[in-house]
């Protein structure tokens, strides 16, 4: 385990509307505001997304099981924001998606389209330097304290 202590800095509240590209818009906001380290919470509806529902086997690196969400779902999620070695924001978002009384918990990765509205509450964290570079052994971008 490795950790750092930081301080809450700026707080952002954003609204995404019907048909918006949620993850793309969130990355745009992060770039515009230069949020280098952050945590966020989101609530609303998702119409479409490509998500990962787990690894096929518990191996390193994992082989993800992809699932296409292609109908409206209720969304409750939390995630983190750090930048990679190419100076691009990397968003790690896990969401619970509800559909007529059933739910699944996923890693939301791409192709996100908003259903009705998604509200996002972002807390910028300062006081340490961190990044999320590619981690060859694991096959994913992993948090690293610089």
Instruction: Let me know: does 5 contact 127? Beta carbons within 8 Å.
Output: yes
Q: What is the pLDDT of residues 79-110, one digit of tens each?
A: 999 999 999 999 999 999 999 999 999 999 99
- Work out the angle at residue 135's Cα, subtended by the Cα atoms of residues 75 and 3, and round it to the nearest 5 degrees: 75
Q: Give the helix/strand (H/E) hosting 59.
A: none
Q: What's the pTM value of the predicted model, to 2 decimals?
A: 0.94
Beta bridge pairs of residue 78: 41, 94
Give the alpha-carbon dihedral of 4, 35, 54, 141, to 10 degrees: -70
- Work out the angle at residue 9's Cα, subtended by the Cα atoms of residues 37 and 77, and round it to the nearest 5 degrees: 55
**How many Cβ atoms sit within 10 Å of the Cβ of residue 58?**
7
Q: Delineate the domains of the chain, giving CATH numbers in brackets.
A: 7-132 (3.30.1330.80)
SS3 for 69?
strand
Instruction: Let me know: does 70 contact 48? Beta carbons within 8 Å.
Output: yes
- For residues 69 and 27, give the distance between their C-alpha atoms in angstroms, rounded to a whole number: 21
- For residues 52 and 108, give the distance between their C-alpha atoms in angstroms, rounded to a whole number: 7
Nearest residue to 36 via CA among 58, 56, 15, 9: 9
Q: What is the pLDDT of residues 102-118, one digit of tens each?
A: 999 999 999 999 999 99
**What is the pLDDT averaged over residues 57-77?**
96
């Amino acid at each position: 385990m490795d950790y750092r202590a930081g301080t809450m800095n700026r707080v952002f509240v954003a609204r995404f509307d019907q048909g918006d590209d949620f993850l793309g818009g969130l990355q745009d906001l992060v770039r515009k505001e230069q949020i280098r380290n952050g945590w966020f919470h989101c609530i609303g509806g998702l119409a479409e997304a490509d998500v990962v529902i787990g690894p096929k086997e518990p191996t390193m690196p994992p082989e993800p099981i992809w699932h296409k969400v292609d109908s409206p779902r209720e969304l409750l999620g939390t995630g983190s924001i750090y930048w990679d070695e190419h100076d691009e924001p990397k968003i790690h978002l896990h969401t619970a998606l509800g559909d007529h009384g059933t739910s699944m918990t996923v890693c939301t990765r791409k192709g996100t389209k908003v259903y009705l509205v998604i509200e996002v509450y972002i807390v910028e964290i300062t006081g340490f330097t961190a990044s999320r570079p590619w981690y060859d052994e694991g096959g994913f971008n992993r948090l690293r304290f610089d």
